[in-house]
Amino acid sequence: MSSDIRNRPILASTSEASFETVFTRYYSLVYQLAYRCVGQSDEAEDIAQEVFLRYHRVPPKAESEAERRSWLCRVATNLGLNALRSRQRRTKREEQVSETVRRSTPEAEAQQDPEQHVLISEQAALVRSILAEMPERQQAYILLRSTGLSYAEIAQATGVATASVGALLARAEREFRRRYHERVTAPRA
């Protein structure tokens, strides 16, 4: 960084020029912090971009240069740690699913109890057919939640507000239970 950019005071306004000055001055610092947290350059770049996007949308009420720098560092660190936690949760879910799949392979189930295997297969087919009849959005909520995603992750995946996920998921589950009950209690032809 050239010394004239580093020593020039940042304008107090939220103009494009002041944003560009902040970006130019602190991008490498923010990127380095993010990279130290996540250890992957592409993810660190995404985090750095998110930090500056947040800065641009709602600049901090910083009185001094040190406060601005501190804000940028804090946001970069928090986003980096959030990314690590998310990665750990995802890894844990994937390991759980792998373990479940490994334990419940059709061959292992058939060897344990062939009748139980048939019942499980029929139940899975029934659940899949009921899901297929439901509206696509409701299917998505149920499937995303059943894989262990949090409300925030479901909101991100479906493009709805996080606060709405609970109600939408509850509605989808009620509809699923209603359809399931109808199928199970319907007289067989």
Residue 7 and residue 84 share a domain? yes
55, 73, 88: which is the final residue of a domain? 88
- CB atoms near residue 110 (< 10 Å): 14
Length of the chain: 189
Contacts of 50 (CB under 8 A, 6+ apart): 79
Mean pLDDT to the nearest integer, 39-65: 88
- Percent of the chain at pLDDT > 90 equals 20
Mean pLDDT to the nearest integer, 114-127: 81
Domain housing 150 = 134-185
- CB atoms near residue 187 (< 10 Å): 4
Residue 71 and residue 14 share a domain? yes
Which two tokens mark 52?
């500056």
Residue 142 and residue 79 share a domain? no
Contact 177, 126 (CB under 8 A): no
Average pLDDT score over the chain: 81
Range from 33-37, 92-96, 102-106, 183-187 carrying the lowest mean pLDDT: 102-106
Residue 159 and residue 84 share a domain? no
Residue 72 and residue 9 share a domain? yes
What per-residue confidence (pLDDT) applies to 168?
94
Number of independent structural domains in the chain: 2
- Is residue 106 one of the residues assigned to a domain? no
Concatenated DSSP letters for 4-46? HHHHSPPPSS--HHHHHHHHHHHHHHHHHHHHHHH--HHHHHH
DSSP 8-state secondary structure symbol assigned to residue 104: T
What per-residue confidence (pLDDT) applies to 114?
77
What per-residue confidence (pLDDT) applies to 161?
92
21, 55, 88: which is the final residue of a domain? 88
Query: Does pLDDT of 6 surpass 60?
Result: no
- Is residue 60 one of the residues assigned to a domain? yes
CATH of the domain at 163: 1.10.10
Query: Does pLDDT of 58 surpass 80?
Result: yes
Residue 9 and residue 83 share a domain? yes
What per-residue confidence (pLDDT) applies to 46?
94
State how far the Cα of 189 lies from the Cα of 123, in Å rounded to an integer.
19
What per-residue confidence (pLDDT) applies to 12?
44
Query: Does pLDDT of 61 surpass 80?
Result: yes
Residue 84 and residue 15 share a domain? yes
- Is residue 154 one of the residues assigned to a domain? yes
CATH of the domain at 52: 1.10.1740.10
More confident residue, 64 or 48: 48
What per-residue confidence (pLDDT) applies to 73?
84
- Is residue 120 one of the residues assigned to a domain? no
- Is residue 97 one of the residues assigned to a domain? no
- Is residue 166 one of the residues assigned to a domain? yes
What per-residue confidence (pLDDT) applies to 189?
60
Mean pLDDT to the nearest integer, 74-90: 85
Contact 73, 65 (CB under 8 A): no
Residue 144 and residue 70 share a domain? no
Residue 138 and residue 80 share a domain? no
- Is residue 163 one of the residues assigned to a domain? yes
- Is residue 101 one of the residues assigned to a domain? no
Residue 81 and residue 10 share a domain? yes
What per-residue confidence (pLDDT) applies to 13?
45
Mean pLDDT to the nearest integer, 33-52: 89
pLDDT in tens, 141-186: 888 888 777 888 888 888 899 999 999 999 999 999 999 999 888 7
What per-residue confidence (pLDDT) applies to 187?
78
